[in-house]
Amino acid sequence: MLTTPFSAATGTSTVPTITGRQHSPSPETLASLITTSKNITQLLQIHAAAIRHGFHNHPAVNFKLQRSYSSFGRLDSSLALFNRTHDPNVFFYTSIIHAHAADNLHMRGIQLYIQMISQDVEPNEFTFSAVLKGCPIEPGKLLHTHVIKLGFDSNMHVRTALVDVYSRGGDLISARQLFDTMPERSLVSLTSMITGYAKHGDLAKARTLFDSIVDKDAVCWSVMIGGYAKYGKATEAITLFRKMLRSKINPKEVTLVAILSACGQIGAIESGRSVHSYIQNHKIQINVHLGSALIDMYSKCGSLEDAVNIFDNLKNRDVVTYNSMLSGYSMHGYHQEALLLFHKMHKINHIQPTAISFIGILNSCAHSGLVSIGKGIFLSMKRKHKIEPTIEHYGCVVNLLGRAGFLNHAYTLTNTMNQINIKPDPIIFGTLLDSCTLHKNIELAEKIANSLIDQNLANSGTYILLSNLYAATSNWAGVAHMRTLMKTHGVEKEPGCSSIEIDNKVHEFVAGDMNHPKSAEIYEMVAEVNGWLVGHGYRPQTEVVVQDIGERERVRSLEVHSEKLAIAFGLISTKAGSSIKIVKNLRVCLDCHEVTKLISKVTGRRIVVRDRNRFHHFVDGVCSCGDYW
């Protein structure tokens, strides 16, 4: 007797082609009906008919049933049929292996392959294509020896599957050797090779292969765009996405998620809005994946209102959606809203927070100086939610304590981490160094920096932060020493860069930039802004200048900081009263922060600046950060 779900379908069948006859249906008729069945209910009814008429062990009927159950997502039923099959042949094995691979049960598929070999059933090219699909690289190498031994290494489908195994596993040299010696290349093999390069960051080789394809499909475009987005080549991703649309290729959901991520990386809100419009115009359902991507994009592009609107209208919100919204509130400094959402998430909607949820809420506390609340949430991770804190969570708490001035407490916490086998990394010490700079604690900063240098863990940020601290206290000998160390260790300072999007084009500026086509008009606006500032009692914060130069030169160097040039360009390129949004790759300096507050007051404009740490919303001379950043 078959177990459920087969035995559940024993009533009168509603399949007319069976029940409408007085005589038994033939196995061929049943097999045909199985193939054309449209849903699991219909398949169960046909299976019941096969049992009643004694054909449940017929090879053709059984094979069709096994394959159809898999296609309807009923792998358990498919496997039950396979296990009841006497002496299954290569087609039965290939079908069940393929079903497991489709469900990402690769190791179980390999076990079935081993079982097949042990029963002297010889695989064919389709068996290898099935068992290699999604296979990890180490068992894939062993399967490769079987492929060669049985003479299938020149088969295009098998060779393509092997290219995919090595490509996904990161052995790009072996993948390329297989690829280059293929007698003919399919679009699938080309896409597999591009995927390998894109996944592991070799975007130049990926693009060369991508450009060689004449008829690219949606998957191929998606892989290349996703590679650019993953490795921070946002402008290239956006440009390629527009080219994809011009080629009349409809993007998949994964492509839309990747391009929204790219827009968020550089704050390209106009491009992000156009993607959102594309989704709406093509009536693409905004599920939790697209919804989370839209929330993240709008948050990172400075439009928290749009992010909240997407969140509020999204049905079936999951923990990823909540995490995206928590992160949005955090980076914009909306700590009360973040705390309320975190409370609603697990208290009202009964969604268990994840490790990422705690990163979002702890960052929110750090940006707002909520030390007691942040410490309580951190302690609740393990005690209440059974989530073991990771190095990222400790980093959030170090930032929380350090920015609030509890530097020794933060430093003690880094020592405590060693006791629980979490070794503090340069990022955590960099966070603490940043706080030392903020509170001008040279003694602790030197202690941390020297320890990192001695352990060969220092990065550019280590030298820059300590150098900036020396400069802020006019210790020019210390600045010179840091520069010497940087030169000795081959460390280069990351240049400050600010960008602004105007008419779907992102314009980038560095300090003292003269390369923009409208440089003359930009500097005229800078001069006009300087006139406004004088009339409002502005005093240049020259202590942030890290060069040992005269006071006049310091003032001049402040006037041409990258964010000031970007804001000036925004002022001459947009309508009076409209908002200006800037993205800065580093922490906004004290002087630029003060100047932007005054510009927002004089012009009546809302200026939104996203720096490395958070968002600043400048309105009528006041910043949303409360001068705490």
pLDDT average, residue stretch 383-389: 93
Other Cβ atoms closer than 10 A to 450: 13
- Measured between alpha carbons, how far is 68 from 493 in angstroms, rounded to an integer? 60
- Measured between alpha carbons, how far is 266 from 584 in angstroms, rounded to an integer? 9
What's the per-residue H, E or C state across 545-585?
Answer: CCCCCCHHHHHHHHHCCHHHHHHHHHHHHCCCCCCEEEEEC
Closest C-alpha to 195, from 183, 182, 209, 185? 209
**281-300 residue pLDDT tens:** 999 999 999 999 999 999 99
Mean pLDDT score across all residues of the chain = 90
**Strand order through the sheet with 607-610:** 505-510, 497-502, 580-584, 607-610, 615-619, 622-623
pLDDT confidence tier of residue 23, bands split at 50, 70 and 90: low
> Residue 10: pLDDT above 70?
no
pLDDT confidence tier of residue 483, bands split at 50, 70 and 90: confident
**29-80 residue pLDDT tens:** 887 888 888 888 888 888 888 888 878 778 888 888 888 888 888 888 889 8
| Range from 203-207, 360-364, 493-497, 565-569 carrying the lowest mean pLDDT | 493-497
Strands 607-610 and 580-584: what pairing? parallel
pTM of structure:
0.82
**301-327 residue pLDDT tens:** 999 999 999 999 998 899 999 999 999
> Residue 238: pLDDT above 70?
yes
Give the CA diameter of the chain: 105
pLDDT confidence tier of residue 14, bands split at 50, 70 and 90: very low
pLDDT confidence tier of residue 8, bands split at 50, 70 and 90: very low
Per-domain boundaries in the chain? 509-623
What is the b/e burial string over 124-155, where b = at least 16 CB atoms within 10 angstroms of the residue's CB? Answer: bbbbbbbbbbbbebebbbebbebbeeeebbeb
Residue 22 has a pLDDT of: 47
pLDDT average, residue stretch 464-492: 84
Query: Tokens 């406004």 appear where?
Result: 532
Strands 622-623 and 615-619: what pairing? antiparallel
> Residue 593: pLDDT above 90?
yes
Residue 147: which H helix or E strand, with range?
A: helix 137-149
Query: Tokens 């012009």 appear where?
Result: 603
pLDDT confidence tier of residue 3, bands split at 50, 70 and 90: very low
Strands 580-584 and 505-510: what pairing? unpaired
> Residue 17: pLDDT above 70?
no
